[in-house]
A and B are shown apart, each in its own frame.
Chain A
Amino acid sequence: MSNKIPVQNIDPQDASTPKVKTVELYEARKKIYVKEITGVFQKVRSFSLWFLMGMYFLFCWISVDGQQLVLFDLPNRKFHIFGATFWPQDFVLLSWLLIICAFGLFFITTLFGRVWCGYTCPQTVWTFIFMWLEERIEGSRNQRMKLDQASMNKQKALKKAAKHASWLFVAFATGLTFVGYFYPVRELVPDFFTFDISSGWAYFWIAFFTLATYINAGWMREQVCLYMCPYARFQSVMFDKDTLVVSYDLNRGEPRGSRKRSADPKEVGLGDCVDCGMCVQVCPTGIDIRDGLQYECIGCALCIDACDSVMEKMEYPKGLISYTTEQKLEGKDSKLLRPRTIGYGLALAIMMSAFAFKLGTRLPVELDVIRDRGALFQTNAKGYIENAYTLQLMNMSDQVRTFVITVEGMDGVSISGKSEFTLEPSEVRSIPMAVEAKPSALTERNHDIVFKAQAVDDASVKIDSESRFLGPAPVKF
């Protein structure tokens, strides 16, 4: 009897231990070495980025009639923006402006995806500058990688020091300019270098923004977009199938693989993607666009430039990676006008015109009336009923103005005493004011009255403020 040992079929796959990967809960940042690329979109970007940068650095230096064009004068609580002066009362306008900007961003995102991120975002602008400096000092992507791997020597130390010095210089210029929008820049810069700034806070904020710029644009870079930027997190809800996105044409590219330049892809059974990895090397957020739409993609189109340059060399048609829409990739027509864009556009148009109207009809005068809280009313020497108020009259214009105050709203009510006041530019005056009326004119315990302030030199500059006139219960005959 032969007892054979039963054959056991051992599948090597089953037998092997499961593929276990070790995952750290907190992962160290993998440094991204961005390859510099030239191309159509990079040209557009660099124009836009240098332009915005230039605006930032130059705007605060422009003065008109001795007034800095853009100055947020916090100590005096006045904001000068392009010749208009905004007061704390106008803050509601600022919130509207921010809401309009947000809607503008939504509108643009719905149409063109994340062009804001790729072409105009300050994080992108400053990172672009810092990367540009890095490339000039440490060399190309490969040279930088080699430099980082090399052990420290004089050459490396020198290059690193030069890079950080140049970064810090730009960061400092940024910080100084930033504070220059809050503190007259023409005084700030000389005062800074002679250590003559009266407020220690100016030094603090310059240091703060210098450091913040240096860390954000030098060290954090894509980390800001990936982990800090709220917009990156919610922009996807504004996308639809017709939104312009940077996308890889899967049908055309796959299967990817390397081949000889002379080979016909169809014969080798490959798509147009030569799998050179250029699109990954140029990506500032370090993603592979060929994996599809990802929230990390800032829509900067550098991968398009990179891919197009390769396609050109391979003599394939351009546009394997391109600005396109999901509809187009599926071979359908893409529409610009759709309920979503029309809705956003309409809301935006309404808000912008309301804002422009409000801005245009804003008057440089403000009147607040505060009723005295002590006595409700009293009888004065004339035997009239008298109420006391404190008026806050503000001349928000840049010229000396005389205002006439009148009161209306009930019969026989008048101001007792002076009613003309001359105010200096941007003066806020508190005016104690007694208002009187004959007891016989009082038909109710309280009457709504209106104070009116009217500029003598300009009939359009006038403002109303409501209040109340109180008296004793009227005598019934």
Chain B
Amino acid sequence: MTSFWTGWISFIVLGSIFGCAWLLWVTRKSQKFDTETEQTMGHSFDGIEEYDNPLPRWWLVLFMGTIVFGLGYLVFYPGLGSYKGIFGWTSVNQWEAEVKKAEETYAPIFAKLAATPIEELAKDDKAMKIGQRLFANNCAVCHGSTAHGATGFPNLTDNDWLYGGAPEKIKETITDGRNGSAMRAWKDEIGEEGVKQVANYVRSLSNQEDVDEAMAAKGAEIFAANCFVCHGKDGKGSHDMGAPNLTDGIWLYGGTQAIVEATVRNGRGGVMPSFKDKLGEERIHLLAAYIYSLSHR
């Protein structure tokens, strides 16, 4: 705020307050009335007349008290342009104080939970209720509240893992995120015909219906020459690469011919963000236990 606006706001605020105080002060004095003629205000409605009665004195005291309170408030809290007030209060530092207070309350609980191994924690009903809330607040947007995932977002309940489902691996995934699979676009390298053939072959690995056997046979050669690096010779994928298993009929983006072709043609790259800064280690530990519990009931 520029000093002009600061001054302008302060002027209006203080001006109004002192204006009210002045008005109260000058009008409080006694007035002389002709009791013969001036008993009423002259207002009349339905034969009801308004008397000119004095206000109770304690109202004046209250009015003045409000003014004193207002001035005191402006000393302690912001209200005069860019002046911050003696307390230096802002809504941000109030929020931070609340967060700190909450941390102090919950830190011991999470510390205790974080000391329990994930396999054990996954069996603790109470801990899992907390884990479920963490999941609902942080993960459900992409993976769904049921953790069944959605197109492009893996199902976390089927024990099929891109990067591995060991407790430590899950924790690693949440902590650092996963920076996209390296499934690149193959259309330039193997051509449109090659894309169709590979797609047929890949779909044959999990016994999908309507696979063109001849195309699949040709696709097998292309697969053996290019795709095995990540997905392995048998197409079972690799946790180190984050390459999906192509033989289990679980499809991250869909398993129809058209979708698999699109995957091969253009590549895929989903990103799992890092939650290290947002949640901290203890909450990630609990969350990992919850996710672990989903496929280890």
Chain A residues with a Cβ under 8 A of chain B: 18-29, 223, 226-227, 372-375, 378-381, 386, 388-390, 417, 429-430, 432-434
Q: Is the CB of B136 within 8 A of A430?
A: yes
Bitwise, B19-46 to A at CB < 8 A (1) or not (0) is 0000000011111111111000000000
Q: How far is the CB of B115 from chain A (nearest CB, A)?
A: 26
Q: Which of A22, A25, A227 has the most CB of B within 10 A?
A: A25
Query: Given the complex, which residues of A lie within 8 Å of B28, measured CB to CB?
Result: 24-26
In the assembled complex, B145 has its CB within 8 A of some CB on chain A:
yes
Q: How far is the CB of A465 from chain B (nearest CB, A)?
A: 15
Q: How far is the CB of A391 from chain B (nearest CB, A)?
A: 9
Query: Given the complex, which residues of A lie within 8 Å of B35, measured CB to CB?
Result: 19-21
Q: Is the CB of A27 within 8 A of B145?
A: no
A386 to B150, CA, bound (A): 10
Instruction: Choose, from B55-63, B161-169, B210-218, the stretch at the interface.
Output: B55-63
A379 to B253, CA, bound (A): 10
Which A residue's beta carbon lies closest to that of B142?
Answer: A374
Q: Is the CB of B30 within 8 A of A22?
A: yes
In the assembled complex, B179 has its CB within 8 A of some CB on chain A:
no
In the assembled complex, B17 has its CB within 8 A of some CB on chain A:
no
Q: Is the CB of A381 within 8 A of B142?
A: no
- Residue from B52, B60, B141, B148 within 8 A of A380 (CB atoms): B148
Bitwise, B57-88 to A at CB < 8 A (1) or not (0) is 11110000000000000000000000000000
Q: How far is the CB of A380 from chain B (nearest CB, A)?
A: 7
In the assembled complex, B16 has its CB within 8 A of some CB on chain A:
no
Known: A24-B29, A373-B141. 17 other contacts (CB 8 A): A20-B32, A21-B35, A23-B31, A23-B32, A23-B54, A24-B54, A24-B57, A26-B28, A28-B57, A29-B56, A223-B58, A372-B144, A381-B158, A386-B148, A389-B145, A430-B136, A432-B145
Q: Is the CB of B54 within 8 A of A27?
A: yes
Question: Total number of A-B contacts with CB less than 8 angstroms?
Answer: 110
B contacts with A, residue count (CB < 8 A): 41
Query: Given the complex, which residues of B lie within 8 Å of A430, measured CB to CB?
Result: 132-133, 136
Q: Is the CB of B55 within 8 A of A372?
A: no
Q: How far is the CB of B211 from chain A (nearest CB, A)?
A: 16
A-B pairs with lowest CB-CB distance, top 9: A375-B150, A27-B54, A432-B145, A388-B144, A26-B60, A434-B146, A21-B35, A390-B145, A432-B146
A25 to B57, CA, bound (A): 8
Q: Which of B124-143 contact A (CB under 8 A)?
A: 129, 132-133, 136, 140-143
Q: Is the CB of B146 within 8 A of A433?
A: yes
Given known contacts A25-B28, A388-B144, A388-B145, A374 and B150 CB-to-CB distance under 8 angstroms: yes
5 contacts between A and B (CB under 8 A): A26-B55, A26-B57, A378-B151, A390-B140, A432-B145
Given known contacts A27-B57, A381-B250, A374 and B33 CB-to-CB distance under 8 angstroms: no
- Residue from A223, A379, A434 within 8 A of B56 (CB atoms): A223
In the assembled complex, B287 has its CB within 8 A of some CB on chain A:
no
A223 to B148, CA, bound (A): 67
A372 to B149, CA, bound (A): 11
Which B residue's beta carbon lies closest to that of A418?
Answer: B297
Q: How far is the CB of A301 from chain B (nearest CB, A)?
A: 26
In the assembled complex, B147 has its CB within 8 A of some CB on chain A:
yes
Q: Is the CB of B56 within 8 A of A21?
A: no
Q: Is the CB of B30 within 8 A of A23?
A: yes
Query: Given the complex, which residues of A lie within 8 Å of B249, measured CB to CB?
Result: 381
In the assembled complex, B269 has its CB within 8 A of some CB on chain A:
no
Which B residue's beta carbon lies closest to that of A20?
Answer: B32
- Residue from A25, A223, A379 within 8 A of B54 (CB atoms): A25
Q: Is the CB of B57 within 8 A of A21?
A: no
In the assembled complex, B254 has its CB within 8 A of some CB on chain A:
yes
- Residue from B31, B133, B143, B155 within 8 A of A25 (CB atoms): B31
Q: Is the CB of B254 within 8 A of A26?
A: no
Which B residue's beta carbon lies closest to that of A21?
Answer: B35
A241 to B133, CA, bound (A): 64
Which A residue's beta carbon lies closest to that of B150?
Answer: A375
Q: How far is the CB of B239 from chain A (nearest CB, A)?
A: 20
Which B residue's beta carbon lies closest to that of A371?
Answer: B145
Which B residue's beta carbon lies closest to that of A22?
Answer: B30
Query: Given the complex, which residues of B lie within 8 Å of A373, measured CB to CB?
Result: 141
A433 to B145, CA, bound (A): 7
Q: Which of B243-258 contact A (CB under 8 A)?
A: 249-250, 254
Q: Which of A19, A226, A378, A429 has the most CB of B within 10 A?
A: A378
A24 to B151, CA, bound (A): 79
A22 to B32, CA, bound (A): 5
Query: Given the complex, which residues of B lie within 8 Å of A378, measured CB to CB?
Result: 144, 148-151
Q: Is the CB of B56 within 8 A of A25?
A: no
Q: How far is the CB of A28 from chain B (nearest CB, A)?
A: 5
Q: How far is the CB of A396 from chain B (nearest CB, A)?
A: 18
Q: How far is the CB of A23 from chain B (nearest CB, A)?
A: 5
Which B residue's beta carbon lies closest to that of A391?
Answer: B145
Query: Given the complex, which residues of A lie within 8 Å of B149, measured CB to CB?
Result: 378
A227 to B153, CA, bound (A): 66
Query: Given the complex, which residues of A lie within 8 Å of B254, measured CB to CB?
Result: 379
Query: Given the complex, which residues of A lie within 8 Å of B29, measured CB to CB?
Result: 24-25
Query: Given the complex, which residues of B lie within 8 Å of A374, measured CB to CB?
Result: 140-144, 150, 153
Query: Given the complex, which residues of A lie within 8 Å of B55, measured CB to CB?
Result: 25-27
Q: How far is the CB of A218 from chain B (nearest CB, A)?
A: 14
Q: How far is the CB of A298 from chain B (nearest CB, A)?
A: 17
A372 to B27, CA, bound (A): 63
Q: How far is the CB of A304 from chain B (nearest CB, A)?
A: 27
Q: How far is the CB of B96 from chain A (nearest CB, A)?
A: 21
Q: Is the CB of A26 within 8 A of B54?
A: yes
